[in-house]
Amino acid sequence: MFLEFVHGAGGHYAESGYDTRLVVLSVVVALFASYAALQTAGRIPTARPRMRAAWITAGSVVLGGGIWSMHFIGMLAHELPFPVDYDLNLTVGSLIVAVLMTWLGLAWVSRAGNHPGALLGAGVTTGAGVVGMHYMGMEAMRMPARLLYEPWTFALSVAIALVAATAALAIARREVSIPAKLGASVVMAVAICGMHYTGMAAARFEPGQTMALGRLLWLEASAYAVHPQVIAVLVAVSAALVVTIIIASATIDKRFALSAAREAETLRLGSRRMSALLATGSDLIVVADADHAIRDV
């Protein structure tokens, strides 16, 4: 995969647009994924070692998979005047890159704690994964056109990804209230969408000599093709199901953890009271169970 950049001014590039409904759907997916990622990542710092690994994996699937889903729907929202297919290997590979690099980022920051250097390293790792996912997904496009990038807009999309990933990990490590978490989810979703659509703005599509033939074949096959909106809805529904399951799991786990903490605190206070009573009492104290069996004197 080698990216090509625009050199100098000029050049004949295809005009493009967006399906507004799919753009809105991509933003909604980003919002749900961001909230689920924050909800899941909030369980990592307080979880036991085995459960911590499980929550890191869940967080990487939610955040990495959610970003990929948003990206893919955003790609389908992009309308070009010629047919576009997608290379399956690169498309699946872009999903794996997003999940794997997000896993590395979450694992890094969870082990290193709140050290600024660790947070920066984890953010750069995750951000690089987002960039790799996006542009690998772009290279998966198969079309009668040459794909080029405007260098400065491309660089801006990379910067947005790095900053957004670092901010996302910083927010994810903090235990915040639900309103604050919702606000942070909006910020994360805007950053994720901003990176994607900035990257799309950097793209230039230079039609090839086969464009006319490709368009003719596309028109002939369009009656048998699956509409991009159908694919987008299927991706969104699948992502929503995964996100819903993980949000529910994180919420239930948090409630169990709070309940266990309250019970432990109650037992601790009871033990302290009993110890104080035994230390200061001058009379004989007998401790018996419900069956009237003596347990302690």
Q: Is the pLDDT at 149 greater than 90, yes or no?
A: yes
pLDDT band, very low/low/confident/very high, at 25 (cuts 50, 70, 90): confident
Q: Is the pTM of this model over 0.85?
A: no
Query: Average per-residue pLDDT in the chain?
Result: 77
Percent of the chain with pLDDT over 70: 67
pLDDT at site 261? 57
Lowest mean per-residue pLDDT among 47-56, 68-77, 143-152, 228-237: 228-237
Pick the more confident residue, 244 or 255.
244
Listing DSSP states for 206-247 in one string gives: EE-TTHHHHHHHHHHHGGGSPPHHHHHHHHHHHHHHHHHHHH
Please check whether residue 59 is in contact with residue 249, taking contact to mean a CB–CB distance below 8 angstroms: no
What does the alpha-carbon distance between residue 270 and residue 230 come to, in Å, rounded to a whole number? 60
**pLDDT for 241:** 66
Residue 210 has pLDDT above 60, yes or no: no
Query: What are 164-207's pLDDT values in tens digits?
Result: 888 877 776 666 677 777 887 888 888 889 999 999 999 999 88
3-state class of 93 per DSSP?
Answer: helix
Q: What is the DSSP string of 14-52?
A: ---EE-HHHHHHHHHHHHHHHHHHHHHHTTTTTS-HHHH
Q: Beta 287-288 vs 294-296: how paired, if at all?
A: antiparallel
